[in-house]
């Protein structure tokens, strides 16, 4: 059995929390059926924006954590949609890394986002959709996302295998997926990220198949893993990326 399918790995990786708070004004909740679960997606209406950004959030987070941020995303030019992983928020089921990846594709098929964004753990969902985008996708954003698969295992307190199988590399390895992508790509990372080293962001950018002119790494000064979005520099970079995508589409 793959280490990524073992209970010891997934139970040490995911930190689900339930939440049934109602959608705030201007937002709506949707339940999407997947194999063995129902997933909660919150969509924040913003008619003046150029499209929807589908965000796959970080570990231990839930959709309600982004209610206040929806207005910032709208000012950056996109309407925000956020998905809860299995076992998080109102979503049912038990989370695993494998189902997170397959669920991301199902949700993206329903939401049809203009931009896909993966924060921290959510980066694995963004990697999958970068490699194999759904119709209508114009760009991908990685925020504080991992790149080294072995390091992900080590952060769980486990020992990675001497080598990964072909299935593990194809299903889980960011490098393999990033090599397949061609969409415009923005990588956002805190200069002082204490969880995922900045070098992993640099490696992700180098591995991405997007043309050099259409991919960029923005290092947010004096920010770590969980406070990177507190900087205006972060939002300026995000808004500029969205504007470029909208300009290319018009």
99-115 pLDDT per residue, tens? 999 999 999 999 999 99
Residue 69 phi, psi dihedral angles, 5° rounding: -80, -15
Distance (Å, whole) CA 138 – CA 134: 10
Of residues 57, 41, 43, the one with CA closest to residue 229: 57
pLDDT for 62: 97
Question: What is residue 14's three-state secondary structure?
Answer: coil
Q: How far is CA 152 from CA 53, 119, 131, 132, 155, in A?
A: 26, 15, 20, 22, 5
Distance (Å, whole) CA 109 – CA 39: 13
pLDDT band at 50 (very low <50, low <70, confident <90, very high): confident
pLDDT for 248: 82
Query: For 169-182, what is the mean pLDDT?
Result: 97
pLDDT for 39: 98
User: Domain containing 20: what range?
Assistant: 3-249
Query: For 57-77, what is the mean pLDDT?
Result: 97
2 pLDDT above the threshold of 90: yes
Tell me the sheet residues that pair with 118: 56, 142
Give me the long-range contacts of 205-211 (CB less than 8 A, separation at least 24). Answer: 207/147, 207/174, 207/175, 207/178, 207/179, 208/130, 208/178, 208/179, 208/181, 209/178, 209/179, 209/180, 209/181, 209/182, 210/181, 210/182, 210/183, 210/184, 210/185, 211/182
Calculate what percentage of the chain has a pLDDT beyond 70: 100
19-48 pLDDT, tens digit per residue, is: 999 999 999 999 999 999 999 999 999 988
Query: For 154-177, what is the mean pLDDT?
Result: 97
CATH number for the domain spanning 159: value is 3.40.50.1820
pLDDT for 47: 86
For the chain, the domain total comes to 1
Distance from the first to the final alpha carbon of the chain = 48
pLDDT for 56: 98
Which tokens in the block code for residue 73?
Answer: 């995303």
153 pLDDT above the threshold of 70: yes
Query: For 117-132, what is the mean pLDDT?
Result: 98
pLDDT band at 250 (very low <50, low <70, confident <90, very high): low
Question: What is residue 170's three-state secondary structure?
Answer: helix
Angle at 179 between CA 178 and CA 184, to 5 degrees: 60
Distance (Å, whole) CA 95 – CA 81: 20
Q: For the chain, what is the mean pLDDT? A: 97
CB 63 within 8 A of CB 54: no
pLDDT for 48: 82
183-233 pLDDT, tens digit per residue, is: 999 999 999 999 999 999 999 999 999 999 999 999 999 999 999 999 999
């Amino acid at each position: 059995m793959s280490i990524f399918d073992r209970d010891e790995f997934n139970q040490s990786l995911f930190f689900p929390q339930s939440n049934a708070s109602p959608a705030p004004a201007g937002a709506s909740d949707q339940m999407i059926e997947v194999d063995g679960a129902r997933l909660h997606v919150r969509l924040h209406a913003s008619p003046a924006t150029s499209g929807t950004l589908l965000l796959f959030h970080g570990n231990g987070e839930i959709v309600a954590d982004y209610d206040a941020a929806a207005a910032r995303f709208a000012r950056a030019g996109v309407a925000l949609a956020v998905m809860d992983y299995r076992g998080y928020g109102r979503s049912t089921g038990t989370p695993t890394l494998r189902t997170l990846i397959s669920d991301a594709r199902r949700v993206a098929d329903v939401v049809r986002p203009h931009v896909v964004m993966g924060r921290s753990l959510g980066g694995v969902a963004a990697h999958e959709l970068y490699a194999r985008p759904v119709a209508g996708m114009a760009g991908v954003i990685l925020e504080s996302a991992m790149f080294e698969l072995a390091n992900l295992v080590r952060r769980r307190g486990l020992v990675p295998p001497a080598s990964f199988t072909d299935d593990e590399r194809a299903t889980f390895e960011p490098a393999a997926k990033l090599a397949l992508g061609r969409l415009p790509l923005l990588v956002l990372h805190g200069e002082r990220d204490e969880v995922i080293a900045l070098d992993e962001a640099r490696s992700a950018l180098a591995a991405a198949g997007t043309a050099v002119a259409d991919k960029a790494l923005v290092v947010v000064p004096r920010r770590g893993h969980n406070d990177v979005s507190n900087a205006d520099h972060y939002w300026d970079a995000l808004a500029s990326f969205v504007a470029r995508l909208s300009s290319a589409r018009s």
